[in-house]
Amino acid sequence: MKIHNHFPIAILEHQVDVELADKVEQQLLEHIEALPYKDIFTGNVATDFFSDSRIDIFTMFPDLIDEFVSARNAYQEVTTFQSSDKLTFWTQDYRDETGIHVKHQHGVNGISGVYWIRANEQAGALTFHNPNTVLDYVSADEIDNPYRSMHSHYQPVKGKLLLFPSYLQHEVQPSQEGVVRTTIAFNFLHEERLK
């Protein structure tokens, strides 16, 4: 007998150079403090998602954009997922333990990502949900079993970048008191979305 593992989901994890991560955090602090505070998706989050005047990371941090593009290229090379060079992004700052983001996905945008501008140990995890729909109807075992695992968690770390397929459902877990958790979320749009 032989078991074949089919349909894996690729999540790229990349740690940005400490010097660049420090530069991004320091230069964005003033802008982060000015983000409007919104009650979105049942959690209180400061964000420029609803604003036309988003923090312009293209102008401020071309070297960070280069990191995003380089990671996207590596992701595409391994997965053969395709996206355009069109990058849309927004910033989110989770300022207290009420800041969550319920389970959602980014549709057919192509390749999505998150970059942690800053984070501490109190920050809630980013949870990815297994897209295998049978898990909606059966109980997952408590043991660590990749065939029955309903989700995986990534603890926020300053300077860490994750890329994943846009269809993958994910959510931000509740944080603890004293949370520091600020992200840039983004999509590399699929070519079809540009037509």
- Containing 25, the helix (H) or strand (E) segment is helix 18-33
Please, where are the H alpha helices in 34-141? 57-60, 62-79
Domain 12-131+149-194: give its CATH architecture: Sandwich (2.60)
Q: Give the C-alpha separation, 148 to 14, whole Å.
A: 26
Q: Note the pLDDT of residue 95.
A: 87
How is residue 96 annotated by DSSP? S
Q: Note the pLDDT of residue 41.
A: 58
Query: Which residue is listed with tokens 């007998």?
Result: 1
- 195 residues of the chain, pLDDT tens digit each: 998 888 889 999 999 999 999 999 999 999 998 888 776 655 678 888 877 778 899 999 999 999 999 999 999 999 998 899 999 999 999 988 888 888 999 987 789 999 999 999 999 999 999 888 777 777 665 556 777 778 899 999 999 999 999 999 999 999 999 999 999 999 998 876 555
Q: Note the pLDDT of residue 125.
A: 96
Closest CA to 99 of 179, 183, 185, 184: 179
Q: Note the pLDDT of residue 185.
A: 95
Q: Give the C-alpha separation, 44 to 93, whole Å.
A: 9
Give domain limits for the chain: 12-131+149-194
Closest CA to 43 of 171, 155, 152, 160: 171
